[in-house]
A and B are shown apart, each in its own frame.
Chain A
Amino acid sequence: MIRKTGAALAIAAGVLGAVALSTSAFAAPNGVANLGEFVVFEDANYLGGVYDTTGDVTNYTLPLTAPPTYFGTTRTVNDSGSSVANYSSSFVRAYVNAIDTGIANGGAYINVYPYQTSSGSQSWAYYNLSSFDNAISSHDFQ
């Protein structure tokens, strides 16, 4: 496991060191943040493995034989993300600490704002998930 760099009392919103948005290609998961994607980073500060998706992913543990992994790696995304960014124009619900591993899009969630928008400490990007580090297990676009 790659060493996690985030530690704080609260989810830290902001774009410090956020990865640049690529306009060169659309949508297919490629390890690069593209417009329209929700991206989970393995480490805080948008570092480490990159999991970029355009659609809802209702359960990061599925399919059991080939669950989502960070692009180009075999490291699974479920319960291992430490920062997130939303490059889409929709809100995204990122579910954490689901009480039931078998349930798609279950549990509590944080609202991730659309690309480049924010309100107070809520934002389109969280460079540090702090106490919810390694807890994201699914997401859906709103």
Chain B
Amino acid sequence: MIIKKILACGGIAMVISTASACTASPAPTSEPPIGAIPVVRSDSDIVLPIDAYRLSADKIRAFTVAVDILGRACMNRFGLYWPPNSPTPGPPAAQNARRYSITDPDKAKIEGYHHLDAEKRGKDIAARQAKQKQPTSDAVNVWGGTGEQTFGGQPVPAGGCAGEATRQLDKGAPKADPGIAERLQLDTYQQMAHDSRVAHAVGEWRKCMTAAGFDYPDPSAAGADRRWQTAQPSKAEITVATADAACKTQAKVAGTMLAVETAYQQRAMAKHPTEMAAIKQLLETQFANATQVAATRG
């Protein structure tokens, strides 16, 4: 979408977020110096400074399992049923999977622009949800603390059983707002996409694709080719996607994006040292508490 905006607006200087019109422009920021361009050949190569201040797949699983254990134990005190959470099927996605579009030539050879694992997983999740027993309205109230503040003669915890569970995970943690890290990485993603060095790499990608016999103005156009809107990837799609991934490697598109966004993130984090330190400590405490809950009560 952002790359499309580049074309639609006639030049990199006019590029802005997808949410705005071409007549506006982002707040001007100087482009930070970048280090060496790393090699990115798969999603796992994309590691950003702010990653450690966001929920990783491990932390997400631990948090989810612990809230399920603690929250349902709380619901049991009220004699109420709450559906158990079962792990989402399949391996967790890498923290920055597809952040810079498709990057893995080996995967492109198999699934083109499709995301076959995710498509299957989506169907599995929908099927699983359809089989779950629904809680009662009383249970919904007590889970979130949204109804009367007493139920069955017992006081409902603040924020309900979900609130009680999350407070237990926060025990011993400093007051912190992980939403700060969340917002910073959204901002740096946009800054990266507007950066002149990324635009240059995309230009090199186009030259590479042209040499390979494909006339797409940008990676977005290659991925959005209507011929790829099929249930399974076609031979033609795989051919283009493989060339796309190879050209991204040759033109160092993802590597440039990573180097550029790393620089923006380092700059952003330096403006919030206290908040970032507290966020990291909060997440680590939550993870430790959640791990202990799973070990002792799971």
Enumerate chain A interface residues (CB-CB to B < 8 A).
10-11, 13, 21, 23, 26-27, 35-37, 53-58, 61-65, 79, 88-91, 93, 96-108, 110-111, 114-122, 131-135, 137, 140-142
Q: Does chain A have a CB within 8 A of B280? A: no
Check if B93 sits within 8 Å of A140, measured CB to CB.
Answer: yes
Check if B101 sits within 8 Å of A105, measured CB to CB.
Answer: no
User: Which residues from 161 to 181 on chain B have a C-beta closer than 8 Å to any C-beta of chain A?
Assistant: 162-163, 165-166, 170, 176-180
Q: Does chain A have a CB within 8 A of B234? A: no
Instruction: Return chain B residues, CB-CB under 8 Å to A110.
Output: 182, 186
Chain A nearest CB, measured from B155 CB (Å): 17
Q: Does chain A have a CB within 8 A of B125? A: yes
- Complex CA gap A101/B123 in Å reads 22
- Complex CA gap A139/B93 in Å reads 12
Main secondary structure of the interface of A (DSSP, over half): loop
Q: Does chain A have a CB within 8 A of B57? A: yes
- Complex CA gap A79/B162 in Å reads 31
Check if B219 sits within 8 Å of A79, measured CB to CB.
Answer: no
Q: Given A107-B99, A118-B166, 9 other A-B contacts at CB below 8 A?
A: A27-B126, A55-B126, A56-B118, A79-B1, A104-B113, A105-B115, A110-B182, A121-B177, A122-B177
- Complex CA gap A91/B64 in Å reads 8
Chain B nearest CB, measured from A57 CB (Å): 7
Chain A nearest CB, measured from B131 CB (Å): 9
Q: Does chain A have a CB within 8 A of B3? A: yes
Check if B183 sits within 8 Å of A10, measured CB to CB.
Answer: yes
Check if A140 sits within 8 Å of B122, measured CB to CB.
Answer: yes
Q: Which residue of A13, A105, A117, A131 is within 8 Å of B179 (Cβ)?
A: A13
- Complex CA gap A135/B5 in Å reads 13
A103-B113, A108-B185 as given contacts; A122 in contact with B220, CB under 8 Å: no
Residue of B whose beta carbon sits closest to that of A53: B126
Instruction: Return chain B residues, CB-CB under 8 Å to A133.
Output: 19
Check if B3 sits within 8 Å of A99, measured CB to CB.
Answer: yes
Check if A23 sits within 8 Å of B136, measured CB to CB.
Answer: yes
- Complex CA gap A132/B57 in Å reads 23
A-B pairs, top 10 by smallest CB distance, nearest first, are A102-B223, A120-B177, A121-B179, A56-B122, A55-B126, A102-B224, A116-B162, A104-B115, A55-B122, A108-B189
User: Which residues from 65 to 123 on chain B have a C-beta closer than 8 Å to any C-beta of chain A?
Assistant: 67-68, 83, 85, 88, 92-93, 97-102, 113-115, 118-119, 121-123
Q: Does chain A have a CB within 8 A of B135? A: yes
A26-B132, A102-B223, A140-B122 as given contacts; A91 in contact with B60, CB under 8 Å: yes
Chain B nearest CB, measured from A126 CB (Å): 10
Check if B132 sits within 8 Å of A111, measured CB to CB.
Answer: no
Residue of A whose beta carbon sits closest to that of B139: A23
Instruction: Return chain B residues, CB-CB under 8 Å to A93.
Output: 93
Instruction: Return chain B residues, CB-CB under 8 Å to A114.
Output: 64, 67, 85, 162
